[in-house]
Structure 1
Amino acid sequence: MVRHIQCTPRELEVYITCLERVMRRYIQRLQWLLSGSRRLFGAILESKVCILLDTSGSMGPYLQQVKTELTLLIWEQLRKHCDSFNLLSFAEGLQAWQDTLVETTDTACHEAMQWVTHLHAQGSTSVLQALLKAFSFPDVEALYLLTDGKPDTSRRLILREVQRLKEKNDVKVHAISLSCSDRAAVNFLRDLASLTGGRYHCPAGEDALFKMHGLLTRGFIHQRDPALPLFEGDDLRRLAQEITKARSFLWQAQSFRSQLQKKNNTEPKVAPF
C-alpha cells in the first residue's frame, strides 16, 4: 500500500499523459525498425558504406529472399541516405560490384540492382577475405556484413585481423545474422560488431512479427498486454528494454491515480459551518 504520494492529481495526470506520448513514439520507432529493408538489414546510419553479402552454399535456401531485400535496401536506404556505396559478395572467392565506393545516383542504383539479380549460392564462406577487401576501400565508414555466421576460417583469427584493421582504419562492422539458432555463430557476430563499435542485428522471425502486429495495433500500454518478444538484435533489444521500462512507470502511475481516486471517493465530506 502506498501511504504518501508527493504530487497532486493534476501533476499525476500530466505525468501519465507524457508517458503515454513517449510510449506512442517508442511504438512508432519499433514499427519503423520492423518494416521495409530495416527488418533484415537494420538501419543504415553512415553515408559511405559497403554491403557484404554471403553467397556461400549454406545461404542457398535464403538467397532469393535476401536478393529481394537487398534490392529494397538499395532504393529505400542507400539511395536516400548514403553519399556512396559498394556491394561485395563472398563465397569461395570475392565478387565486388565496383572497384571502390561509387556515388549514390539513380543510374548506380539501377546497375547495382541488376548486379544483385545474377548472384547465386555456392562454395564456402570466405568472411576474412571479404573483410580485408572491404576495409581497403578508400573513405568507407561502415561495413554491413550479412551472413549465416559459418566462416571457413578460425573465428579467433578473423577477430584478431579485424582488430588489426580497426587500428589502421576507423571502420565499423555491423554484423547481420540470418538465423539466431546457432549460438556460436551469433556470439561470433556479436563479438565482431562490438569489436569495431558496430551493431549486431538479427531479423525478427515471422512468429514474433505476427505477435508484434497485434500488440502494436492495440497500442501496447495496458498492463494486461503481454510482454514483448525477446529480440536478439542490438537496436530492437535496446528499444524493447526502454519500452518495458516506460510501461512499468506508466502502470505504476496509473495505479497511483487509481488509489488517489479511491481515497478521494471514500473520504468523508466535511459540511461547512
Structure 2
Amino acid sequence: MWDLDVQPLISSSKWLQLHGLKRNKLSFSQILSQIGFQHREDFVSTLGKFVASRYADGLFPQYLRAQDGRVYNLTAKKELILHFVDCLTGAIELYKQRMEWVTSESRQLFGVIQESCITIVLDFGTVCRAEFDLCRDALSMVLSQQVAQLANDIIFSTAQDLVKWQQKAVPVSEDSVESAVKWLWKLEHMPAVSHTSSTEALLEAISDETIEAVYYFAVGDVPKDMKHLLLQKVSNSPYAIHTVSFNAREEETIIFLKELSQLTSGRYGEYYYCYYDLLISLILKAIQVGTRESLQRLLSHLAHNKKIKWLNGGRELTVK
C-alpha cells in the first residue's frame, strides 16, 4: 500500500512544496544551521584583511562547505545528528514511493490528472480489435484510479462518431465512474473513416466553459492531413489540451502530439504497450483453432507492428 502522503493528484512541483526538504527544514543549509554555526571572519583595518578568530580552533569539529569555502563549527550532540539521519531517511523513502507511484499503473499512461473538471476525448483511429480492447482496459484503470478521486465533473466523448457518454459534465461518484466504465465497454469497434472527426470532437470539448482541461487520448498514428487541421483549429484553445499517445509507431505522431500540448500549455504522455501477452494469446489461439483466418490475423498483427517491444525473462527484446 502507498503512503497517503504519496497519492495526492497534484503536480510534482506542488507536491514538493508540501513534502520537500526545505518545507521540513531538512535542506543542507537548514540542517547546518541547526547543528552548528558558521566560523566567521572579520575585517581588521590595521592589517587590511579578513581574519578568522581562533578561539574555536580544536574546540569543535569543523566542516568545510566545498561550494563556497565556508567553515562551520559543529556543536550538535549525537542524538540530534541521529534525529536528522532518521528524518532524511524517511524523506528519501517518501520520495522513492512518490516516484514509483507517479510512474505506475494509470499514471504511467495519463500522468497525474491534476484538474477537478475535465473532458476526455478518445480517438481510436484505425486500431485493430485486440488493441481496441487494450485501450479500454487502460482507460478503465484511469477511471477507477484517478477520475474516481476528482472533486467535480467529467465528460467522455469519442472522436470516431462524436458519441458522448454524457451531454454535460456530471459529478464524480462511484455510480458515475461505474456508468462511464460500462459505457466504455459498450462502444462498438468502428475504425475512423473521417479525418475531421477528431478536430470536431476537440472543438466541442473546448467550447464547454465549465471544464478546466481536455485530455486527448490518441491511439496509433495521426494522419498527416489531420495533424494540420488540428493545429489550425485548436492550437488557440482557451484550455490546456493534454495529449496522450497510445502505441504511436511513427516519430512524426509523437512530435505532433507534443507540439499540440505545448501550444495549449498542456502536458504530453506517451505509452507503448508491452505486446508479450497479446502475442502469446494470438499464437495459442492460432495453434488451437488452426484456421487460415486465425493465422492470417496473427500475421497481420505482426506485420502491422513493425517494431514490437516485449519482455522475456526480464530482458527487453525488439522485433523489427
Which of 141, 161, 170 aligns to 1:72? It is 141
Q: CA deviation at 1:114?
A: 1.2
Query: How far apart in 2 are the matches of 1:154 and 1:209?
Result: 30
> 1:159 corresponds to which letter in structure 2?
L
Match of 1:189? 257
- Is contact 2:246–2:272 with CA below 8 Å preserved after alignment? no
Q: Percent identity?
A: 25
Q: CA deviation at 1:59?
A: 5.2
- How many residues are aligned here? 205
Q: CA deviation at 1:117?
A: 0.7
Residue 162 (structure 1) aligned with residue 231 (structure 2):
no
**1:9-88 alignment runs, 5 A limit:** 23-58=92-127, 60-88=129-157
Query: How far apart in 2 are the matches of 1:61 and 1:8?
Result: 64
Q: Deviations over 1:137-169 (max 9, x none)?
A: 2311111111124147442331121134x2xx3
**1:85-234 alignment runs, 5 A limit:** 85-91=154-160, 93-119=161-187, 120-124=189-193, 126-147=197-218, 148-151=220-223, 153-164=225-236, 166=237, 169=238, 171-179=239-247, 181-203=249-271, 206=274
> 1:110 corresponds to which letter in structure 2?
E
Of 18-27 and 128-137, more deviation after overlay is shown by 18-27
Q: CA deviation at 1:20?
A: 6.2
SS in 2 for 1:75: helix
Q: Deviations over 1:7-35 (max 9, x none)?
A: 67979x99998876665444222211222
Q: CA deviation at 1:103?
A: 1.2
* Runs of 4+ residues over 3 Å off in structure 1: 3-11, 13-26, 151-154, 204-210
Please, which runs of 5 or more residues in structure 1 have no aligned partner? 215-273
CA 1:20–1:95: 2 relative to 1, 3 Å: same
Q: Which has the higher strand share?
A: 2
> 2:210 corresponds to which letter in structure 1?
D
Report 1 or 2 for greater relative contact order, CA contacts < 8 Å, sequence distance ≥ 6: 1
> 1:76 corresponds to which letter in structure 2?
Q
Q: Which has the higher helix share?
A: 1
> 2:216 corresponds to which letter in structure 1?
L
After TM superposition, the score normalised by the length of structure 2 is 0.55
Query: How far apart in 2 are the matches of 1:24 and 1:106?
Result: 32
Query: How far apart in 2 are the matches of 1:145 and 1:83?
Result: 19
> 1:156 corresponds to which letter in structure 2?
H
- Is contact 1:60–1:122 with CA below 8 Å preserved after alignment? no
- Is contact 2:248–2:272 with CA below 8 Å preserved after alignment? no
Please, which runs of 5 or more residues in structure 2 have no aligned partner? 1-63, 277-308, 316-320
Query: How far apart in 2 are the matches of 1:149 and 1:196?
Result: 20
After TM superposition, the score normalised by the length of structure 1 is 0.63
> 2:180 corresponds to which letter in structure 1?
A
SS in 2 for 1:113: helix
